[in-house]
Amino acid sequence: MSDIIQLLPDNIANQIAAGEVIQRPASAVKELLENAVDAGADEIRLIVNDAGKQLIQVIDNGKGMSETDARMAFERHATSKIRNIDDLFHIKTMGFRGEALASIAAVAQVELKTRRAEDENGIRLEIENSVVVLQEPVAFEKGTSVAMKNLFFNVPARRNFLKSNASELKHIMEEFIRVAMAFPEVFFSLVSNGQEVFHLTKGTLKQRIVQVLGSSYGSKLVSVQEHTDYMNIYGFVGKPETAKKSRGDQYLFVNSRFIKSPYLNHAINQAFHELIPKDSFPMYALFVDLDPAEIDINVHPTKQEIKFEDEKVVYAFVQSAVKHALAQFSVTPTLDFELDAGIQQLDAVSKPLTESHQQAAQSTRLFQTFSKSNQAHFIERRSDLKNWESVYPEKRYSTPDTEAAIPPAATLYQETRAVVEQAMEVIQLHHTYVVVQTDQGFLVIHQQNAHERILYERYAKAVIGKPIVTQQSLFPATLELSPGDALLLQEILSELSSLGYQIESFGNNTFIVRGTPADVTQGDEQSAIEFLLEQYKHFSSELKFSKREKVLRTLAMQHAIKPGTALNKKAMHTLLEELFQCEQPSVSPNGKPVYQSFLNTELNRFFGR
């Protein structure tokens, strides 16, 4: 029998190694930006075309490389930072694995230009399929430029697995922001298809946070500063009012390296306990510095997950530091002892409390319920509040064209619909469930799941047929978004237009909102659109949806009535009528059950009747 084990050719081995390091354009962006930082650059420019598929170029003004180093940088296992095995456990720089450039050269056409300050000329290399095809001197400023073109040109199957340009650009921006956030003293810019998306001038960490995340954070950041012999923590957390419904603006760095740590994230969230709603997430940009020997950064291929030598100590320290910062900066509500002078002139203050006034006040039942023990539950009900629910305006659930709603399914839900049409009584439980009494039993309907189904089918009809009517704003709102959010909103403007939004780009990450759907309250456009973008960015599902489908589902979730919302009789009947006109009334768009039926026969059997 012949031998069956053989060594792989270098070009194939390099492509396999590239799969570990360069999974998508954003992976190459991360490696190149970190190399530029390690080169001591204070100006770094990132240029991408076609979401990195056609071009990724990083230009820095760092120390550059000699001709020999330029050639060696593309060899596998080449490194400038490791001389012996102990060095692996004391790494303080960003990227130290030399195969990053070798991996990039294995799956892209690479051009390198570099020059050191002491050299008269620079060196230019062209590398294709891991082979140097050109080497020549070049006139070049001090620093390095690495341009990788036609990513995965020699691995078509890998290129086919890349997502849409919008998705890949989002990942590139995430990696760019993480590096830029960690080094506010460095100038960064990002240009995509000739348009400058980020222009981040040198400054403080607080200034960098505002540059990246938007001016709304300018006055809403709380400084965190704690130093010990074991570790240090510094950075900023957002005040409670900046908390969002999704994990968006959360940045944690250990020794200036961005990491993902559910463990430390839990510590930070616990510091905000009782300051923000349970379903909200705080903003933070925190840096933890400690001895590299106390951590292991090689537990994950991308080095974004690390292991601490003593996790409990780090957890307690982070939680305590954030708690102390929130308390020190008086984030919790405080009493205002500044009394308006005008109050002193009111009759209730300036006139004495006479004996007759005092007796009259003490004779009321309300006074007695609060002045006697165990009497608070006897506060009498005001008769004029008997129909209190009528004073709350019902939420509008239907469009002006209610009759043109999506036609019901022909057969599947006819019987259930007929039962609901004969409903004898409708009540709300816990401001969450609608209970419908029928002649055969009752239905329990989850109001949010039901409304999500109604809105989803209405929006689905709008994007393929008649658009939803827009209500024009008397005073158009101006939105100032972060560069990332501005780019995202620009991409989904056409979908939002058919759903009742009239939004125009005004340049420089600014938009004008001239109209909104009837569901959006006038004057609340900014928060509504920011919340929409947050949900869209962090839309999670095991299934892969198109951009349009994600917009439909995101809007349905955002605009649906939430648990805790009181509904009057008319609103509940409207909800029922519209639900059972849907094609799929039994499940919400994300597959959650909308209602559960209970028959009288089941109840009788349960009670032995």
Tell me, yes or no, whether 178 lies in a domain: yes
Q: What is the pLDDT of residue 154?
A: 85
Q: What are 504's strand-pairing partners?
A: 512
Residue 447: count other Cβ atoms within 10 Å of its Cβ: 25
Residues 370 and 418 in one domain: no
| pLDDT score at 437 | 86
Residue 451 burial class via C-beta count within 10 angstroms: exposed 0-12, middle 13-18, buried 19 and up: buried
Yes or no: say if 44 and 58 are a contact pair by the CB < 8 Å rule: yes
CB proximity list for 448: less than 8 A, separation 6 or greater: 432, 560, 561, 562, 563
Query: CA-to-CA distance for 518 and 498, rounded, in angstroms?
Result: 13
Q: What is the pLDDT of residue 72?
A: 86
Which of 166, 181, 200 corresponds to the end of one domain?
A: 200
Question: What CATH code is carried by the domain that includes residue 100?
Answer: 3.30.565.10
Q: Which two structure tokens, joined as six digits, stand for 266?
A: 């839990």
**Same domain for 264 and 146:** no
Which residues, listed in sequence order, are joined to residue 58 by a DSSP beta bridge?
46, 146
Shared-domain flag, residues 180 and 223: no
> How many Å apart are CA 192 and CA 483, to the nearest integer?
12
| Same domain flag for 488 and 578 | yes
Residues 450 and 532 in one domain: yes
Does the CA dihedral 254-81-142-151 come out positive or negative? negative
User: Does residue 388 fall inside a structural domain?
Assistant: no
First to last CA, the chain: 80
Judge whether 72 lies within some domain.
yes
Q: Consecutive 10-residue runs of the chain (609 residues): their mean pLDDT?
A: 63 60 88 92 96 96 92 72 51 52 88 95 92 94 95 86 84 94 97 92 95 86 93 94 81 92 91 86 94 72 70 91 86 42 46 60 55 45 40 36 36 50 76 89 93 91 79 83 82 85 86 81 71 72 69 85 91 91 90 90 89
Count CA within 13 A, CB hemisphere, residue 129. Answer: 7
Q: For 593, phi and psi rounded to 5 degrees?
A: -65, 145
CATH assignment at residue 282: 3.30.230.10
Instruction: Tell me: do 457 and 359 sit in the same domain.
Output: no
| Residue 412 resides in a domain | yes
Structural domain containing residue 500: 402-539+546-598
Structural element, H or E, at residue 123: strand 122-128
Residue 193 lies inside a defined structural domain of this protein? yes
Q: Is residue 395 part of a domain?
A: no
Element (DSSP H or E) covering residue 491: helix 483-491
Residues 161 and 176 in one domain: yes
Rounded Cα distance, 358 and 491, in Å: 67
Same domain, 437 and 582: yes
* Confidence (pLDDT) at 555: 85
- Residue of 424, 428, 449 whose CA lies nearest to 568: 428
Query: Which residue do the tokens 């009540």 mark?
Result: 427
CB within 8 A of 543, min separation 6: which ones?
Answer: none
Q: Which residue is it, tokens 């028959």?
A: 599
Is 122 in the same domain as 226? no
Query: Would you say 270 and 196 are in contact if contact means Cβ atoms under 8 Å apart?
Result: no
Q: Which letter does DSSP use for residue 333 in this model?
A: -
Q: Are residues 152 and 236 in the same domain?
A: no
- Whether 162 and 276 share a structural domain: no
Note the pLDDT tens digit of each residue in 473-495. Answer: 878 888 888 777 888 888 888 88
Domain assignment present for residue 607? The answer is no
CATH of the domain at 426: 3.30.1370.100
**In 272-411, where does DSSP find H-type helix?**
311-328, 347-350, 355-362, 365-371
Q: 3-state DSSP: the chain helix, strand, coil percent, rounded to 5?
A: 40, 20, 40
202 phi and psi angles, rounded to 5 deg: -65, 145
Structure letter (DSSP) for residue 470:
P
* The last residue of a domain, from among 140, 165, 200: 200
CB 250 within 8 A of CB 266: no
One domain for residues 464 and 583 = yes
Instruction: Please tell me the total count of domains within the chain.
Output: 4
> Is position 605 within any domain?
no
**Paired sense of beta strands 131-138 and 122-128, if any:** antiparallel
Q: Using CA atoms, how far apart are residues 595 and 578, in angstroms rounded to an integer?
A: 14
Alpha-carbon distance of 271 to 64, in angstroms, equals: 44
Q: What is the dihedral of CA 314, 318, 323, 328, to 10 degrees?
A: 120
The residues, any chain, with a CB within 8 Å of residue 180's CB and separated by 6 or more, are 186, 188, 198, 200, 208, 212
